[in-house]
Structure 1
């Protein structure tokens, strides 16, 4: 039996009210939003659309959050949601709402949003540009690639990170010299996660410029899973002894890292007798 405070037992009005409480990351608010996603009915859609017209930026943002994944694993009202979010992007001014809209559109994979997302990528706010990176990274369009290449060199760390992830992994099927060069440029980034995303993207495309950086990463003091993924994608035999050495070091390490390491080692065939 569900406890009365569970989302399924609450009215639409109650869930909307809880969604509007707390700060952006409030756990109870997001529990309510997820319950609304799962409900996925016309009245939830209408309530979310109504929030988009609010004078409160927070309410507009919550409306966007509800629309982004309405229907949860069984998306519903795609056209209506796309129309509303694209229209919002054309008139919205608050960076945090623009960020939420970009993320929501990434869940919809909405090609009609391409032009407004391209425009959003030039916004002075890093939050807005971060939203643009999310929305563009799932679109199969040369314009999206071009803008993500620019955003991969953005002054903001989060923007660079998502743009690099978008180019390297989400757009895995895309492969141009310009895209590869953008990933190579990120190998010198000050942030190790961005470097890792770039390595994986280059390795997936079998770019030889990733070989030496992967070797260096496998010999580093703190080896990240990105280096393991890149080594597996490239399959260079010179990585095998470095991977075995990592395993032999032992000591404390995340279970996920250990599991990933063993899986990658297995791809290089049987160990020598």
Structure 2
């Protein structure tokens, strides 16, 4: 079987077989999945839906992986994809497949999955809960926010991370005392990335509990883009000299960090 060039060659069946080969992170398998997504035809839709009924958990998961972004950004067969993924979510038992289904529903932004995703949020498997958080993070419903608040305290690092990101950045229009308290609780998270995401979320909502942590982050030895974004969101003029000191220090930094830093400084000038 020849390898498809940039995902444009090979039959649908050949690409399906390539997607089923290797382990979960196999590079060639994901090339095939992306080729199928870009193709976005009825033939690919039918083939992916057929995979959802396969006896192999891997095949069911790959089917969900294809369906979630079928069309590669173009809205193709949305209702049929939603129907198929909802059916999978309701009958599936394998955590890895539930993860793929939840992620796929998140890409699809399927409000009909709200009840099932809330139920999935209490699944004993962290993989399944991670699927739930992906699906819930994009849904505009108070129940989804409440489930994300609960998931932001999850024992699993990835679940907490995505829930905090969902509350802090994906739901900027949501601003309640309970949501802010959930973000504030994550400021002390043992994972620095989760704490930073919570900080940006609080700063975006102009919560005063973000001021001192931002000041400390800007004064630290290793300043992150998160700290810069939080400083920009708060707009406290006391941050300006700290930002200038970071620039003038001239330490090692990548081009993206420097671009963000200069953009934030410009906002204060």
1:1-273 matched pairs, under 5 angstroms = 5-6=4-5, 7-269=7-269
TM-score, scaled relative to structure 1: 0.96
Aligned partners of 1:187 and 1:105: how far apart in 2? 29
Q: Shift of the alpha carbon at 1:5? A: 2.8
Q: Could you list the per-position Cα deviations for residues 184-227 of structure 1 after superposition, in whole angstroms to 9, with x for gaps in the alignment? A: 00001011100110011011111111001100111112111100
**Whole-angstrom distance in 1 between the partners of 2:115 and 2:44:** 28
| Deviation, structure 1 residue 123 | 0.2
Once residues 4 and 264 of structure 1 are traced to their aligned partners in structure 2, the CA distance between those partners, rounded to angstroms, is 45
Secondary structure of the residue that 1:222 maps to in structure 2? coil
* Count of paired positions: 267
Do the aligned residues in 2 keep the contact of 1:69 with 1:75 (CA within 8 Å)? Answer: no
User: TM-score, normalised to structure 2's length?
Assistant: 0.98
Deviation at 1:4, TM superposition (A): 6.7
| SS of corresponding position for 2:237 | coil
Partner Cα separation in structure 1 for residue 4 and residue 165 of structure 2: 38
Unaligned runs of 5+ in 1: none
User: How far is 1:87 from its partner?
Assistant: 1.1
**Deviating 4+ runs (over 2 angstroms):** none
Distance in 1 of aligned mates of 2:9 and 2:164: 42
Q: Does the 8 A contact of 1:37 with 1:72 survive in 2?
A: yes
Give the secondary structure class of the aligned counterpart of 1:256. Answer: helix
